[in-house]
């Protein structure tokens, strides 16, 4: 834990309230110059953690294990939405389901889950439908299907 805190340049103070002699000990103090060097990396990590809704990744994952990133979560949420409503525009989806960067995700179509059927209207591709039937991220798919049902 100390290595992680040190890497993120976060300090640690322990407080002993249960002993007769109340003590406070500074275990780890942040280093000011390290903050400047690692600020960008730290911001990226904290941003990724903040944007995630689920915690289904296994610790010690290797490259062969699939990691559920915040972007992948958002893509699965969008796939669940389009599976439910069949087709929609980015602005409609953003308003109704409060998903940020919908246009970018649909236009870039990084995973190939979406298909443009006409200007500004998207639907789920065959690959997207197949992904929703697979068990790779079933916990995320179940979670986001429930979220979509609440919002429809």
pLDDT > 90? residue 114: yes
Interatomic CA distance for residues 103 and 89, integer angstroms: 8
All structural domains of the chain: 2-51 (no CATH), 70-151 (1.10.10)
Give me the mean pLDDT over the 50-54 stretch. 78
Q: Name the pTM for this structure.
A: 0.68
- Strands of 114-118's sheet in order across: 87-88, 121-124, 114-118
Percent of the chain with pLDDT over 70: 90
The answer to whether 53 and 76 have CB atoms below 8 angstroms apart is no
The pLDDT value given to residue 6: 81
pLDDT at residue 44, as a whole number: 78
Q: Give the pLDDT confidence score for residue 99 in this predicted structure.
A: 85
């Amino acid at each position: 834990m100390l290595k992680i805190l040190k890497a993120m340049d976060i300090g640690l103070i322990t407080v002993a309230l249960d002993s007769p002699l109340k003590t406070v000990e500074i275990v780890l103090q942040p280093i000011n110059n390290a903050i400047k060097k690692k600020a960008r990396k730290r911001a990226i990590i904290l941003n990724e953690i903040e944007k995630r809704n689920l915690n289904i990744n296994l610790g010690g994952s290797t490259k062969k294990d699939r990691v559920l990133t915040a972007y992948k979560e958002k893509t699965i949420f969008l796939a669940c939405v389009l599976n439910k409503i069949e087709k929609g525009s980015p602005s409609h989806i953003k308003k109704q389901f409060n998903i940020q960067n919908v246009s970018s995700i649909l236009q870039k179509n990084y995973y190939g889950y979406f298909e443009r059927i006409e200007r500004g209207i998207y639907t789920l591709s065959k690959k997207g439908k197949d992904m929703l039937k697979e068990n790779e991220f079933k916990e995320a798919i179940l979670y986001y299907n429930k979220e979509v049902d609440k919002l429809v």
